[in-house]
């Protein structure tokens, strides 16, 4: 005998339970991090303007182990492309062994675009992000907003689940954010493995976040 409410809910539970179990299993697998020797494929989502500048500062401190570096940026963002190219050229002068790719995706939302039409363009960029992320198969995703990085991270989570491939998502909130998170930050606080903030007030509000001081 099953109580009527439970019987009503059971199809939902049947669907939800395996998802919860698989997620829990994946999380367990994820946490058992291993010591690494080979290089690590890095996927960098370059936001635009100041976001890209901050990102390149972070990348400048990374060792050669983070190779190849796959950059994703919005197709309308010529400035980021130029900045990334000159950054990689500078690195190539210092280190002989360098590998990188540049990948364009449609932008989620242009500044001042209406919210209703942003839903459509976001959907489009989600659809676009999936095959790209699957093809690049990153070990680590590094992003710092704005919206462009959300579809990429969601497709990486799916890659995680479907291909049992461990993709670490690291989100770094911009130095500009002192007391409030950006929209991308608010979403990725829940989806990232490591969420880094640069001001103590944010660390207090968001206990799961990591505070390393000012890193850009």
Partner 1 sequence: MKSVFVTVGTTCFEELIAVVSAPETIQILQSLGYSRLVLQVGGGAAPTPLRTPAFTLEVFRFRESLAEEFQRADLVISHAGAGTCLETLEKGKPLLVVINEKLMNNHQLELARQLYKDEHLFYCTCSTLLESLKSIDLSTLKPFPPGQPEKFAAFLDSITGFE
Contact set with partner 1 (CB under 8 A): 33-36, 40, 49-50, 53, 57-58, 60-63, 65-66, 139-140, 168, 170, 172, 174-180, 182, 193-194, 196, 199, 210, 212-216
- The nearest distance, CB 192 to partner 1, in angstroms, is 12
User: Which is nearer to partner 1, 151 or 185 (by Cβ)?
Assistant: 185
- DSSP collapsed to 3 states, the chain: CCCHHHHHHHHHHHHHHHHHHHHHHHHHHHHCCCCCCCCEEEEEECCCHHHHHHHHHHHHCCCCCEEEEEEEEECCCHHHHHHHHHHHHHHHHHCCCCCEEEEEECCCCCCCCCHHHHHHHHHHHHHHHHHHHHHHCCCEEEECCCCCHHHHHHHHHHHHHHHCCCCEEEEECCCCCCCCCCHHHHHHHHHCCEEEECCHHHHHHCCCCEECCCCC
User: Which is nearer to partner 1, 24 or 176 (by Cβ)?
Assistant: 176
User: Which is nearer to partner 1, 1 or 63 (by Cβ)?
Assistant: 63
- The nearest distance, CB 199 to partner 1, in angstroms, is 7
- The nearest distance, CB 127 to partner 1, in angstroms, is 29
- The nearest distance, CB 141 to partner 1, in angstroms, is 12
- The nearest distance, CB 92 to partner 1, in angstroms, is 19
202/179 Cα distance (integer angstroms): 6
User: Which is nearer to partner 1, 62 or 158 (by Cβ)?
Assistant: 62
User: Which is nearer to partner 1, 83 or 154 (by Cβ)?
Assistant: 83
95/165 Cα distance (integer angstroms): 29
- The nearest distance, CB 9 to partner 1, in angstroms, is 39
User: Which is nearer to partner 1, 35 or 97 (by Cβ)?
Assistant: 35
Cα–Cα distances (Å) from 136 to 37, 62, 80, in that order, read 20, 20, 20
């Amino acid at each position: 005998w099953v109580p009527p409410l439970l019987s009503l809910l059971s199809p939902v539970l049947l669907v939800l339970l395996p998802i919860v179990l698989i997620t829990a299993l994946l999380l367990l697998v994820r946490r058992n991090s291993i010591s690494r020797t080979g290089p690590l494929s890095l996927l960098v989502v370059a936001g635009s303007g100041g976001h890209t500048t901050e990102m390149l500062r972070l990348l400048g401190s990374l060792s050669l182990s983070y190779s190849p570096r796959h950059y994703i940026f919005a197709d309308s963002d010529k400035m980021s492309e130029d900045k990334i190219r000159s950054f990689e050229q500078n690195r190539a002068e210092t280190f002989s062994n360098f590998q990188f790719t540049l990948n364009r995706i449609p932008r989620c939302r242009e500044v001042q675009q209406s919210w209703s039409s942003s839903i459509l363009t976001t959907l489009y960029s989600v659809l676009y992000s999936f095959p790209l992320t699957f093809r690049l198969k990153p070990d680590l995703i590094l992003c710092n907003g704005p919206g462009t990085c959300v579809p990429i991270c969601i497709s990486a989570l799916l890659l995680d689940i479907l291909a049992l491939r461990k993709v670490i998502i690291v989100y770094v909130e911009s130095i500009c954010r002192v007391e409030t998170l950006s929209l991308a930050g608010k979403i990725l606080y829940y989806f990232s493995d490591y969420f880094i903030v640069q001001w103590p007030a944010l660390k207090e509000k968001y206990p799961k976040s990591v505070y390393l001081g000012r890193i850009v």
